[in-house]
Chains A and B, each alone.
Chain A
Amino acid sequence: MTRKRRPPIAPEDFRAAGGLLDRRIFLAGGLAAGTLSSSSAGAEPLSVAPWMKTPGSPFTPYGQPSRFEDKVVRVWTNPPNAPGTGAARTPLHVLNGTITPNGLHFERSHSGIPDVDPDAHRLVIHGLVRRPLVFTMEMLARYPMESRIAFIECGGNGGSLYQKDPAQLNCQGLHGLVSCAEWTGVKLSTLLDEAGMEPSAKWMLAEGADASGMSRSVPLVKAMDDALIALYQNGERVRPSNGYPLRLLLPGYEGNMQVKWLRRVKLTEEPTMTKDETSKYTILTPDGKSLQFVFPIEAKSLITQPSPGLTMKGPGLYEISGLAWSGYGKIAQVDVSADGGKTWAPAALQQPVLPMALTRFRMPWRWNGGPAVLQSRATDETGYVQPTRAELIAKRGGKTIYHFNGINSWGVDESGEIKHVYA
């Protein structure tokens, strides 16, 4: 079988300044010889490795990553006196595709990870209902289930980009509070229908079984629309750090509302005004007023490769790759710039593109070895375009840490080092 090779990159293949190429260039078969190959002079014969000469290790009950991947881990910060309070971040810069492995899904906990015994745990639905109900985990497991792939992003992800100077952190440190998984569970609407909602019910309080009793008010419209009581995460039971034995999934909404270790749903007429929907997760603006109930995550994108720590290995052809997502639906388009936003070219979107899920984008780039500023800009299916950092801050100020979705910039210097810059 022969595949048609495309000719070497020609001037008409460039789509934007700084070496951005037509997104189809990698799809059209290999590039013709001479474009990518490096010198073969002095090459040694390939060796046959020792692991090809003796049997490998036996089976294990639960598989683990290769020992050579031991740097692919979460990193976290926590306040003094509170080792379980804080956030552990997903290493986005060393992952690919769109699904986050369960052991690397970000976590935000408000008083540690509880060791919940599923046999002792209960889910209660009460408040403005005709029949208050209590469910065991065994009962819930008998309900019809649904799966959906959804991102979860902490409302505080990217918060350091509101600062005056660019924080010198990598992709994980700046943006690692977003992950994506396939969640499987029972539709909350099924359980609410069984309890029988009173006409006056407009909100529901969702409360967790952790030591902080984390709680948030959720509009009942959202609960009835697409909320899931998630029991499974990427095919296995939800991990303790993500809410075992069950968590609330509210596709597209800020992570804090998607209450882990869910134990109670109380239907109310008005929001309960919990600590985390008043003193936290509200956006203080320069006029001294705070925006409250900012629920869906606005369209956002981020280049994960290359990014700080992943130093360029000399001029040549690279793939720029990253993630885009929107709490309002599907990603419609991602544009990439290599010159700090002066010129843009559309990236290829990896299929399938799902609503409220991470979408992988890819863009061929021929780096000429000079300075570059890499950016990505997402547009979602509602037509919303991710703003520049300057536009976001002009509107919202810099007094908050929440819901940062401005365009992120990576500066590449002549040595191939990459750092976080404002552009």
Chain B
Amino acid sequence: MYTPSRSIALALALGTVCSVGCAESPNLGRVATPEELAPWDISIGPDGAGLPAGSGTPRQGEAVFIAKCVACHGEKGAGKPNDQLVGGRGTLAGDQAPVKTIGSFWPYATTLFDYVRRAMPLNESKSLSNDEVYAVVAYLLHLNGIIEENETIDARTLPKVRMPNADGFVTFTRGK
């Protein structure tokens, strides 16, 4: 996909360039403790590692959505004035205009937790509790027909949610 320089390829193949700091390097960074980093370490990958304690259901999420999200994303996530979050299944292929939503397009449910927690609501990001984030994620998954109304979303169940467009992505290769 990209062409590394030979030295870098070799360094990566060997695992390290300098094991613990290069002798000639300034080495000014201070070693950070896990406790110190915890508040910043908010990214969640598809394996769900790092998801916090807490949980939420679609019903709890509906209340959060009405209070915090509906003004921008519309009733039941129908969109307007900002992004549509629900629907659009079956619009990706062919000549029609695609409707890309969480349900039709997003390949991983973990991304939804990661993004809502870090960036939403737009005017007061990082204001929702972990329970509120889990709940609103559950509500949006339910509106998209991905989970049932009585299901609970938490650190254990979220990474297991299979998104409808999970197989919809192909890693780009130049020239193909």
Which residues B111-133 have CB closer than 8 A to chain A?
A: 111, 114-115, 118-119, 122-123, 125-126
User: A161-199 vs B: 1/0 string, CB under 8 Å?
Assistant: 000000000000000000000000000011111111111
- Are B16 and A199 interface neighbours, CB within 8 A? yes
Complex CA–CA separation, A195 to B26 (angstroms): 12
| 24 residue pairs from A and B, CB less than 8 Å apart | A79-B81, A134-B32, A139-B28, A139-B29, A142-B26, A142-B28, A192-B17, A193-B17, A193-B25, A194-B27, A219-B2, A220-B12, A221-B2, A224-B8, A224-B17, A225-B5, A273-B110, A284-B100, A289-B168, A291-B169, A292-B169, A295-B172, A296-B174, A399-B98
Instruction: Give the dominant DSSP class at B's interface.
Output: loop
> In the complex, which residue of chain B has the Cβ closest to the Cβ of A135?
B29
A-binding segment of B35-43, B60-68, B134-142, B143-151: B35-43
A157 sits at the interface (CB 8 A): no
User: Could you tell me the distance in whole angstroms from the C-beta of A204 to the nearest C-beta in chain B?
Assistant: 11
Q: Which B residues are CB-close (under 8 A) to A283?
A: 172
The reply to whether B114 and A292 contact each other, CB–CB distance below 8 Å, is no
Binding site for B on A (CB under 8 A): 79-82, 85, 110-111, 124-126, 130-135, 139-140, 142-144, 189-199, 205, 207, 211-213, 215, 219-222, 224-225, 263-264, 266, 268, 270-275, 278-279, 282-284, 286-296, 328, 399
Give B54-96 as 1s and 0s: 1 = Cβ < 8 Å from A's Cβ atoms: 0000000000000000011000000001100000000011110
User: How far apart sit A111 and B82, CA to CA, in the bound complex (Å)?
Assistant: 14
Q: Which residues of A contact B123 (CB under 8 A)?
A: 81
Q: Contacts A225-B4, A282-B169 hold; do A272 and B106 have CB atoms under 8 A apart?
A: no
- Taking a contact as CB atoms under 8 Å apart, the answer to whether B108 and A82 are in contact is no
Q: Are A272 and B170 in contact (CB under 8 A)?
A: no
* Contact, CB under 8 Å: A290 / B25: no
Instruction: Assess whether B30 is in contact with A133, with CB atoms less than 8 Å apart.
Output: yes
In the bound complex, residues from chain A placing their C-beta under 8 Å from that of B46 are 270, 273
List residues of chain B with CB under 8 Å of any chain A CB. 1-2, 4-5, 8-9, 11-12, 15-22, 25-32, 34, 36-37, 40-47, 71-72, 81-82, 92-95, 97-98, 100, 102, 105-108, 110-111, 114-115, 118-119, 122-123, 125-126, 168-172, 174
Q: Find out whether the CB atom of A221 lies under 8 angstroms from the CB atom of B8.
A: yes
Separation of A292 and B169 alpha carbons in the complex (Å): 6
Closest CB in chain B relative to A10 CB, distance in Å = 43
Q: Looking at the complex, which one of A287, A288, A293 makes contact with B172 (CB distance below 8 Å)?
A: A293
Q: How far is the CA of A166 from the CA of B42 in the complex (A)?
A: 42
The answer to whether B93 touches A288, judged by C-beta atoms less than 8 angstroms apart, is yes
Please, which residue of chain A has its CB at the minimum distance from the CB of B26?
Answer: A143
Q: How many angstroms from the CA of A364 to the CA of B163 in the assembled complex? A: 56
A207 to chain B: closest residue by CB? B43
The answer to whether A289 and B170 have CB atoms under 8 Å apart is yes
Tell me if A224 and B1 are in contact (CB < 8 A). Answer: no
* Interchain CB contact (< 8 A) of A111 among B47, B97, B119: B119
Q: Are A135 and B28 in contact (CB under 8 A)?
A: yes
Most buried by A among B15, B43, B97, B110: B43
Chain A contacts for B105, CB-based, 8 A: 279, 290
* Closest-CB distance, A261 to chain B (whole angstroms): 13
Known: A224-B4, A278-B107. 10 other contacts (CB 8 A): A80-B82, A110-B119, A126-B32, A143-B28, A191-B29, A194-B27, A270-B46, A279-B102, A288-B94, A294-B172
Are the CB atoms of B28 and A273 closer together than 8 Å? Answer: no
Q: How far is the CB of A213 from chain B (nearest CB, A)?
A: 4
Q: Is the CB of A275 within 8 A of B31?
A: no
Name the CB-closest residue of B to A224: B8
A residues less than 8 Å from B4 (CB atoms): 221-222, 224-225
Complex interface: chain B residues within 8 A of A126 (CB): 32, 37, 41
Q: How far is the CA of A283 from the CA of B169 in the complex (A)?
A: 9
Question: In the complex, are the beta carbons of A111 and B125 less than 8 A apart?
Answer: yes
Between A131, A198, A271, A278, the greatest number of chain B beta carbons within 10 A of the residue's beta carbon is seen for A278
Cα A194 to Cα B27 with chains together (Å):
6
Q: Flag if A274 contacts B114 (CB, 8 Å).
A: yes
Min CB distance, A262 to chain B, in Å? 12
3 tightest A-B CB contacts, nearest first = A288-B93, A133-B29, A199-B15
A290 to B25 alpha-carbon distance, docked (Å): 42
Chain B residue at smallest Cβ distance from A290: B169
| Docked pose: A263 CA to B93 CA in angstroms | 38
CB B97 to nearest CB in A, in angstroms, measures 8
A196 adjacent to B40 (CB under 8 Å): no
Task: Determine if B37 and A124 form an interchain contact, defined as CB atoms under 8 angstroms apart.
Answer: yes
